[in-house]
């Protein structure tokens, strides 16, 4: 218990600023969203988690469509947590989901601040915690309804405890296993763990003992995860692991340098640009002084960006796939920036440089916080006026037994209570082999006796050709953002 009391000790005199900051920025994002098209989620996938969670709470089964168990949730643990909200209150899920996101944001701010203080020495004002609590990517993720910050939370806790002198390897193993339940790419935390363990100055037999402790903690959660997926889909990975890669395979035709550049630029959109030099400097210093946990953080972030560039080079929705790794970049950037400024001899130039960096970082952080709130509100408005509006039309204008093929199934699954064929393959893995072949996809839909097709017209030009349009949303936000209105087609 002493270990946990020491590890979770906070500077109570000023730490209150961080949760207050978190509440304030979340209120800004939600308030602006409410003023546009109402409270909601900024992406349709959030409704997939809500549907799994509601069905689990109401029926006790793990299914997107009641009676059809499936492995369509990328983040089983997140969906499990959301189910608790339905046990507490069976109504709309926003409040409980947003509180979970805010809590994850607070843990990230706490862990990040303490990592920096451990490196640079403790201060009086938790500037890093305040920065993280109001960084626009992270606030967007906290209110997205997705597992994004839950993974970021476990990632930072893993690195925080890896940085301690007396590492609890059983706990580290449990955290890595926990990350896997949140998202498959959580398994990449094995790399930093093995780096720290392998380069530990301890004797070989001691390291072997620590390895088995870590392995025990890891397998306690990993084996049930693999069994869970195997029972649902016949594979040890969820359907989404394969479906997303198949859907965006065409992006791999881009130059590798373009893909790498796009991924590494994502955390720089905002105040992160002022932390780039610090990030590089901190990584160099970590290797120089053999701070293997920090070196592992730098390597892990770099590896994650490269992994997505190589396997899933998407940047939409503000780079949400890389968002769990962004706190690592920001924290190392702060460490390195503080250290780098300290290397400059005391002089007027050091004062000018410090104040310029502080001013630039602060103003950019605040400016992008406002821009991020507007982006969040727009994203929510698009989902509300396109996906949610379509889902409610389907619920009111189709028969309960109708079979509907749709690319965005989240809101439709939650609100319409209809049978679905998922054109993205998340809950319909039989679609994955023909995802990008519209001719084969049409034959498949015919064979399945689909009655309605729901999509954005430009996504399936051949599939929608000659089909009767029975409904379009008429929403104003998607066209204003350069998109189009979602449509419902009569398939047969």
198: tokens are 């392998």
Query: pLDDT tens digit string along 170-225?
Result: 999 999 999 999 999 999 999 999 999 999 888 888 889 999 999 999 999 999 99
The average pLDDT across 63-84 equals 88
The CA-based angle 35-388-326, given to 5 degrees, is 70
Q: Is 345 exposed, middle or buried (0-12, 13-18, 19+ CB in 10 A)?
A: exposed
Q: Report DSSP state, residue 201.
A: S
Q: What is the pLDDT of residue 99?
A: 96
d(CA 121, CA 394): 58
d(CA 392, CA 417): 10
The average pLDDT across 417-421 equals 90
| 12 or 251, greater pLDDT | 251
Query: pLDDT tens digit string along 360-388?
Result: 999 999 999 999 999 999 999 999 999 99
Query: pLDDT tens digit string along 158-172?
Result: 999 999 988 999 999
Query: pLDDT tens digit string along 427-437?
Result: 888 888 887 78
Short-list 112, 119, 97, 121, CA closest to 18: 112
Q: How confident is the model at residue 3 (pLDDT cuts 50, 70, 90)?
A: very low
Looking only at the bridges linking them, the beta strands covering 468-472 and 487-490 are antiparallel
Low-confidence winner among 7-16, 324-333, 384-393 (lowest mean pLDDT): 7-16
pLDDT > 60? residue 12: no
Q: What is the pLDDT of residue 1?
A: 39
Q: How confident is the model at residue 5 (pLDDT cuts 50, 70, 90)?
A: very low
Phi, psi of 10 (to 5 degrees): -120, 155
pLDDT > 80? residue 4: no
Report how far apart, in Å, the C-alpha atoms of 147 and of each of 10, 78, 90, 329 are.
Answer: 26, 6, 21, 19
480: tokens are 């204003």
Highest mean pLDDT among 14-18, 92-96, 245-249, 356-360: 356-360
Q: What is the pLDDT of residue 90?
A: 65
The average pLDDT across 235-240 equals 78
Block residue for tokens 């190589």? 310
Q: What is the pLDDT of residue 68?
A: 83
d(CA 326, CA 386): 30
Q: What is the pLDDT of residue 330?
A: 98
Element (H, E) at 358: helix 348-383
424: tokens are 């993205």
Q: What is the pLDDT of residue 244?
A: 66
**At how many degrees (to 10) do helices 127-134 and 94-120 cross?**
150
CA atoms within 13 A on the CB side of 349: 3
pLDDT > 90? residue 277: yes
Proportion of the chain above pLDDT 70, given as a percent: 95
Q: What is the pLDDT of residue 392?
A: 96
Q: What residues have CB less than 8 Å from 481, skipping those under 6 apart?
A: 378, 382
The CA-based angle 17-18-20, given to 5 degrees, is 65
Q: How confident is the model at residue 247 (pLDDT cuts 50, 70, 90)?
A: low
Query: pLDDT tens digit string along 430-462?
Result: 888 887 788 898 999 999 999 999 999 988 888
Report how far apart, in Å, the C-alpha atoms of 383 and of each of 137, 145, 213, 476 are.
Answer: 18, 13, 45, 11
pLDDT > 60? residue 415: yes
Short-list 422, 400, 397, 399, CA closest to 409: 422
* R_g over Cα of the chain: 24
pLDDT > 80? residue 251: no
483: tokens are 């998109």
The average pLDDT across 82-104 equals 89
d(CA 342, CA 368): 27
Proportion of the chain above pLDDT 90, given as a percent: 69
Q: How confident is the model at residue 343 (pLDDT cuts 50, 70, 90)?
A: confident
Mean pLDDT of the chain: 90
What are the sequence ranges of the domains in the chain?
2-377, 383-490
pLDDT > 80? residue 123: no
Are 353 and 359 a contacting pair, CB within 8 Å? no
pTM, full prediction? 0.92
DSSP codes joined into one string, 314-328: --HHHHTTTGGGHHH
Low-confidence winner among 243-252, 370-379, 469-478 (lowest mean pLDDT): 243-252
Are 339 and 285 a contacting pair, CB within 8 Å? yes
pLDDT > 90? residue 476: yes
Alpha helices in 44-203 (DSSP H): 45-59, 76-88, 94-120, 127-134, 136-142, 148-162, 169-182, 190-198
| 347 or 247, greater pLDDT | 347
| 244 or 455, greater pLDDT | 455
The average pLDDT across 317-333 equals 95
Are 192 and 297 a contacting pair, CB within 8 Å? yes
The average pLDDT across 226-246 equals 78
Q: Report DSSP state, residue 270.
A: T
pLDDT > 80? residue 49: yes
């Amino acid at each position: 218990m002493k270990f946990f009391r020491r590890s979770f000790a906070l500077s109570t005199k000023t730490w209150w600023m961080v949760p207050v900051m978190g509440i304030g920025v979340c209120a800004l994002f939600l308030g602006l969203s409410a003023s546009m098209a109402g409270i909601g989620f900024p992406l349709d996938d959030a409704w997939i988690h809500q549907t799994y969670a509601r069905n689990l709470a109401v029926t006790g089964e793990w299914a997107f469509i009641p009676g059809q168990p499936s492995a369509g949730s990328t983040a089983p643990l997140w969906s499990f947590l959301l189910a608790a909200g339905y046990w507490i209150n069976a109504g709309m899920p926003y409040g409980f989901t947003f509180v979970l996101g805010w809590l994850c944001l607070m843990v990230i701010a706490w862990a990040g601040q303490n990592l920096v203080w451990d490196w640079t020495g403790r201060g009086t004002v938790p500037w890093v915690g305040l920065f993280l609590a109001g960084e626009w990517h992270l606030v967007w993720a906290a209110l997205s309804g997705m597992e994004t910050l839950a993974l970021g939370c476990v990632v930072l806790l893993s690195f925080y405890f890896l940085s301690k002198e007396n590492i609890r390897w059983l706990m580290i193993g449990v955290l890595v296993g926990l990350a896997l339940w949140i998202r498959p790419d959580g398994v990449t935390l094995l790399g930093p763990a093995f780096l720290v363990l392998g380069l530990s100055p301890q004797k070989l037999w001691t390291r072997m003992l620590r390895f088995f402790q870590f392995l025990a903690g890891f397998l306690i959660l990993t084996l049930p995860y693999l069994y869970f997926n195997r029972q649902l889909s016949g594979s040890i990975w969820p359907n989404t692991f394969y479906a997303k890669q198949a859907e965006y395979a065409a992006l791999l035709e881009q130059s590798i340098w373009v893909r790498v550049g796009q991924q590494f630029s994502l955390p720089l959109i905002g105040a992160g640009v002022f932390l780039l030099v610090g990030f590089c400097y901190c990584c160099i210093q970590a290797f120089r002084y053999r701070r293997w946990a920090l070196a592992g953080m730098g390597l892990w972030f770099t590896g994650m960006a490269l992994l997505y560039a190589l396997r899933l080079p998407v940047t939409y929705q503000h780079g949400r796939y890389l968002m769990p790794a962004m706190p690592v970049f920001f924290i190392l950037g702060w460490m390195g920036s503080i250290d780098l400024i300290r290397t400059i001899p005391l002089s007027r130039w050091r004062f000018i440089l410090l104040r310029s960096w502080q001013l630039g970082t602060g103003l950019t952080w605040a400016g992008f916080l406002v821009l991020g709130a507007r982006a969040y509100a727009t994203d929510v408005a698009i989902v509300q006026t396109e996906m949610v509006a379509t889902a409610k039309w389907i619920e009111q204008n189709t028969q309960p037994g109708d079979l509907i093929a749709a690319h965005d199934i989240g809101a439709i699954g939650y609100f319409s209570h209809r049978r679905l064929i998922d054109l993205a393959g998340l809950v319909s893995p039989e679609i994955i082999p023909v995802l990008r072949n519209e001719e084969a996809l049409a034959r498949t839909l015919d064979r399945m006796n689909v009655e309605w097709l729901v999509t954005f017209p430009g996504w399936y030009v051949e599939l929608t050709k000659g089909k009767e349009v029975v409904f379009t949303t008429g929403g104003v936000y998607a066209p204003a953002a350069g998109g189009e209105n979602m449509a419902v087609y009569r398939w047969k």
